[in-house]
């Protein structure tokens, strides 16, 4: 088997509360009203610049970058600590590692934040590598990032997997011709995951074991 790529937010860790409070803090600093929980939910998955463009109803890049800067200031000092590891995730990763599966993290979260979270959650020893976006927003296209990573693999003929909670994870896998698994414990709702047409849909981490162990 080839590599197994895991999304981070909504798949390995529930970072929703920390991201949400940091988005609200950025909006408050800029003088904008707080947004509803449903509006916040739509921000968990897309690149943060896209979310602020929508929340602020603007395509003014300077304003978007200012919002991102305020968001990161709050997130790095406060919000990043507000996360939980999903039940069963560590046991799943340990089982896969014991069977010598190659595990990697692929996320649109900035690389430094992704590395810090995986280390703080004590999951770092279970992953071969962590692949996040750049702080300037590059590498935020998960499809292109995944394609680049696959091109670097030494076993191109082996089946690779992408595990995630949003349609963007499934679409990235489909565009790259690898297997996709949608998880329902994250941020994507049932309609989104249904329409994404993933190869597999699972409701608990342990349900991934029979798919990946052969």
Digit-coded pLDDT (tens) for 87-146: 999 999 999 999 999 999 999 999 999 999 999 999 999 999 999 999 898 999 999 999
Same fold, 3-13+85-212 and 16-81: no
Instruction: Tell me if 69 sits within 8 A of 96, measured CB to CB.
Output: no
Q: What's the mean pLDDT when you consider all of the chain?
A: 94
Q: At the fourth CATH level, which superfamily is domain 16-81?
A: Putative phosphatase; domain 2 (1.10.150.240)
- CA 47/CA 213 separation, integer angstroms: 32
Pick from 190, 206, 202, 181: nearest CA to 87: 206
- CA 200/CA 194 separation, integer angstroms: 10
Note the CATH number of domain 3-13+85-212: 3.40.50.1000
**pTM of the shown model:** 0.92
Residue 164 corresponds to which tokens in the numbers above? 């995630």
**What residue spans define the domains of the chain?**
3-13+85-212, 16-81
């Amino acid at each position: 088997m080839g590599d197994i790529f895991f999304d981070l937010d909504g798949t390995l860790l529930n970072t929703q509360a920390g991201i949400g409070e940091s988005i609200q803090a950025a909006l408050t600093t800029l003088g904008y009203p707080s947004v509803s929980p449903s509006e916040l939910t739509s921000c968990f998955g897309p690149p943060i610049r896209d979310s602020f463009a929508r929340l602020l109803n603007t395509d003014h890049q300077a304003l978007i970058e200012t919002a991102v800067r305020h968001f990161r200031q709050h997130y790095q000092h406060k919000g990043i600590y507000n996360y939980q590891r999903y039940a069963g995730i560590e046991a799943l990763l340990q089982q896969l590692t014991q069977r010598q599966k190659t595990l990697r993290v692929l996320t649109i979260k900035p690389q430094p934040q992704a590395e810090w979270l995986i280390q703080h959650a004590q999951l770092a020893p279970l992953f071969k590598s962590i692949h996040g976006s750049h702080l300037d927003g590059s590498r935020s296209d998960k499809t292109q990032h995944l394609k680049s990573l696959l091109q670097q693999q030494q076993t191109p003929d082996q089946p690779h997997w992408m595990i995630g909670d949003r349609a963007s994870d499934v679409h990235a896998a489909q565009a790259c011709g690898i297997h996709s698994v949608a998880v329902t414990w994250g941020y994507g709702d049932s309609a989104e995951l249904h329409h994404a047409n993933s190869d597999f849909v699972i409701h608990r981490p342990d349900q991934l074991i029979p798919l990946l162990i052969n």
